[in-house]
Copies of this chain bind each other. A is one copy, B any other.
Amino acid sequence: MKINGVVIEDTYAEAFPAWTSEVEITAATRYLAQEAGEHATGFASSLIGCGVEAGIDRYLSPINSPDGRPGCVILMAHPDKQQLQKQALQRLAECVLTAPTTAIFDGLPDAPERIPVRLHFYGDGYEYKTQVGNRNVWAIPIMGGEFTIEEEIGAVQGVAGGNFFIMGTDQMSTLTAAMAVVEVIDGTDGAAASFPGGITGSGSKVGSRKYKFMRAATNDAFCPTIKQKNPNSMVPDGVKAIFEIVIDGVNLEVIERAMADGIRAACRTPGVTHISAGNYGGTLGPYKLYLHELLS
């Protein structure tokens, strides 16, 4: 299968179920909301070494945010609901409660599953219940004024680890394609790419062949600079760089759409020659997203 001359390999991306929450962060300006959102979703690229996978899903205009201020929506995902709750609590406490002028609202108000985020104790007895629009919130006196929080946030059974590989003739052209894909995911509600800038240059395999104490190591079959010395190399001829896009989302449909639209965008960038995807023989998760099906 080819799109715009780019070979779409006949393979699949392996994804796994993850409890997924979305939180709306508003602030006096979009800049302040973004600073809080980026801080809260930092150090959250991959479950291999971070407590949660997280990223900014989208931005909120004042006309459709709960308190009429600019904002952003962050997505957090973890297969274990207790871990998701713990991380959400810590990150909202350390990175959003502390940020100037912010407020927190539930981003999935229709989800039946609820996660408590008990930040009102921070008020030391001075906190009180109130309403913002139709949301029941706590108001907590802080040095900067008052902090507002809706303490229960919705969680759904989402999907993590949707992915594909962009392969090209040189590093910067291939990276440019990956940056176009990030624009597509930014425009897809309910999906986020958790790596720095939404892109990873160092996709991993599970475990290590040589160093047994490593939980993950470089995905050597897809490393272009060692194609000649690696008998298991799967790097196509002429490919000099491969960037991976990893997508977490609130449901499977969102992941499928983000992957399909993203791949199509990548295929329009000069220098891109192949698209593939990461899978681990079914050991990672139950979802198999076949590229050819997604794109037909």
| Assembled-state Cα–Cα distance A183/B91 (Å) | 25
Does A200 interact with chain B (Cβ within 8 Å)? Answer: yes
Contact flag A43-B40 (CB < 8 Å), given A143-B219, A180-B62, A196-B35: yes
Q: CB < 8 Å: which of B35, B48, B69, B201 contacts A94?
A: B48
Q: CB < 8 Å: which of B175, B220, B268 contacts A124?
A: B220
Does A159 interact with chain B (Cβ within 8 Å)? Answer: no
Does A1 interact with chain B (Cβ within 8 Å)? Answer: no
Total chain A interface residues with beta-carbon distance under 8 A: 108
Return the CB mask of A246-289 against B: 1 if under 8 Å, else 0.
00000000000000010011001111000000000000000000
Does A13 interact with chain B (Cβ within 8 Å)? Answer: no
Chain copies in complex: 4
Chain B residues in 8 Å Cβ range of A243: 100, 143-144
Q: CB < 8 Å: which of B49, B96, B100, B183 contacts A70?
A: B183
The answer to whether A126 and B218 touch across the interface, beta carbons within 8 angstroms, is yes
Q: CB < 8 Å: which of B102, B122, B208, B271 contacts A218?
A: B122
Does A151 interact with chain B (Cβ within 8 Å)? Answer: no
The answer to whether B70 and A196 touch across the interface, beta carbons within 8 angstroms, is no
Chain B residues in 8 Å Cβ range of A241: 143-145
Rounded to whole Å, the gap between the CB of A113 and the closest CB of chain B is 24
Does A98 interact with chain B (Cβ within 8 Å)? Answer: yes
The answer to whether B93 and A49 touch across the interface, beta carbons within 8 angstroms, is yes
Chain B residues in 8 Å Cβ range of A219: 143
Return the CB mask of A115-151 against B: 1 if under 8 Å, else 0.
0000001111110000000000000111111110000
The answer to whether B271 and A143 touch across the interface, beta carbons within 8 angstroms, is no
Q: CB < 8 Å: which of B38, B96, B195, B264 contacts A68?
A: B264
The answer to whether B31 and A31 touch across the interface, beta carbons within 8 angstroms, is yes
Given A29-B180, A43-B44, output 6 extra A-B contacts at Cβ < 8 Å.
Answer: A45-B98, A61-B184, A62-B181, A99-B199, A124-B218, A144-B241
30 contacting pairs across A/B (C-beta < 8 A): A38-B38, A40-B196, A42-B44, A42-B95, A49-B93, A50-B90, A62-B180, A62-B265, A70-B183, A98-B196, A99-B196, A99-B199, A100-B178, A100-B200, A121-B217, A122-B204, A122-B216, A123-B218, A124-B211, A125-B211, A126-B218, A126-B229, A143-B165, A143-B241, A144-B201, A144-B242, A145-B171, A145-B240, A172-B175, A172-B176
